[in-house]
Structure 1
Amino acid sequence: MIWHLIAAIFAGLGAAGIGLLLRTLSGKRLPRWIIPVLGGLGMLGYQINVEYNWYEHKRSLLPETARIVQVQEDAMFWRPWTYLFPMTTAFSVVDEQGMTTRVQEGEKHVEFLLYRFEKQLQDSVSHQTWLMNCATRETLPLEGEERRPRLDAMRRLSSEAPLYRAVCTEA
């Protein structure tokens, strides 16, 4: 985070320098306020660039076996441009390498880890073990070391759901 602050300061100084250069080249006909305005726009532009590239940067760090199954985009009132261009704030990933497949009573069951990456002040990553019955498309979380199923959280996915396709068609 400190590196982003330093980079934002240098982006502001660079943009302010461009404002100073433009003012000098115009023979001081441009108003003096152009320098701090361009400095502020440079810092704002850097921050917007970092926020919009967060998802692509995190995605580039994932291993080859990771499949993205959900992307969440949001608009925020304190970032009015996100109403026109929503920003990715979270995404979920399944690692194909960590899946365990079992066949019980003729039905394929897959146990997998679902990782959720969220963009916050400090980026957060959470993970949960899940169990999916590929025949019925039902999935439920497994809790604790003993991996107890939470039946109250069971949900049924559609056959077109990216999570179902990532777990059951590739496993």
Structure 2
Amino acid sequence: MIWHLIAAVFAGLGAAGIGLILRLASGKRLPRWIIPAFGGLGMLGYQIYTEYTWFEHKQQQLPESAEVVSVEKGQMFWRPWTFAFPMTTAFTVVDHDNLAVSRGDDGRLVEFILYRFEKEYVDQVSHQAYLMNCATREMLPLEGESRTPLTEQMRRVEAESPLYRVLCTEG
């Protein structure tokens, strides 16, 4: 977080320097407020850039075996540009190296961990173990070290969903 603050300050200083050069190049015909205005726009531009590249940055930090299965985009009223260009606020990942595939009476069963990354003041990462029955498309969370199934939270997954395709497509 401190590095983003330092980078924003330097972006503001650089943009203010451009404003100063423009003012001097115009023979001081441009108003004096152009310098702090450029500085503010530089810091705002850096902040917008880091917010919109957060998803790509986090994806680069994931291992090769991780695959993104859902992405959430959102708008915020204090960031009015997000209404025209929604920004990624969260995404969900499945790691192929942590899949436990077995054959049950109903067919293929996949035990996996679903990781959820959320963009907040400090990035949040949560994980939950699940069991997917590929034949019935039923998914239920597993609790604790004993991996006890929570049958009351079972839900059906759509056949077109990326999560189902990643887990249940053999090959």
Question: So what's the TM-score if we normalise by structure 1?
Answer: 0.98
Q: Residue 122 of structure 1 aligns with which residue?
A: 122
State the alpha-carbon separation in 2 of the partners of residues 105 and 26 from structure 1.
80
Deviations 1:24-79, CA, capped at 9 Å, x for gaps: 00011000000000000000000000000000011111111111100000000000
State the alpha-carbon separation in 2 of the partners of residues 153 and 6 from structure 1.
45
Alignment of 1:20-35 (within 5 A): 20-35=20-35
| Stretch moving more, 40-49 or 152-161 | 152-161
SS at match of 2:68: strand
CA apart distance, 1:106 = 4.3
Q: Residue 111 of structure 1 aligns with which residue?
A: 111
Q: Residue 86 of structure 1 aligns with which residue?
A: 86
Structure 1: segments with no counterpart, 5+ residues: none
Which 4+ residue blocks in structure 1 deviate beyond 3 angstroms? none
CA apart distance, 1:170 = 4.3
SS at match of 1:140: strand
Give the paired residue count.
171
State the alpha-carbon separation in 2 of the partners of residues 5 and 106 from structure 1.
54
Question: So what's the TM-score if we normalise by structure 2?
Answer: 0.98
State the alpha-carbon separation in 2 of the partners of residues 29 and 147 from structure 1.
72
Q: Kindly, what percent of the aligned residue pairs are identical?
A: 65
State the alpha-carbon separation in 2 of the partners of residues 143 and 57 from structure 1.
31
Look up the equivalent residue of 1:27 and give its one-letter code.
G
Look up the equivalent residue of 1:10 and give its one-letter code.
F
State the alpha-carbon separation in 1 of the partners of residues 149 and 35 from structure 2.
61
Q: Residue 167 of structure 1 aligns with which residue?
A: 167
SS at match of 2:51: helix
Q: Residue 72 of structure 2 aligns with which residue?
A: 72
Q: Residue 134 of structure 1 aligns with which residue?
A: 134
Deviations 1:116-144, CA, capped at 9 Å, x for gaps: 01111111111100000000000011011
Structure 2: segments with no counterpart, 5+ residues: none
State the alpha-carbon separation in 2 of the partners of residues 112 and 127 from structure 1.
10
1:102 paired with 2:102, answer yes
SS at match of 1:6: helix
Q: Residue 13 of structure 1 aligns with which residue?
A: 13
| Stretch moving more, 121-130 or 101-110 | 101-110
Look up the equivalent residue of 1:147 and give its one-letter code.
R
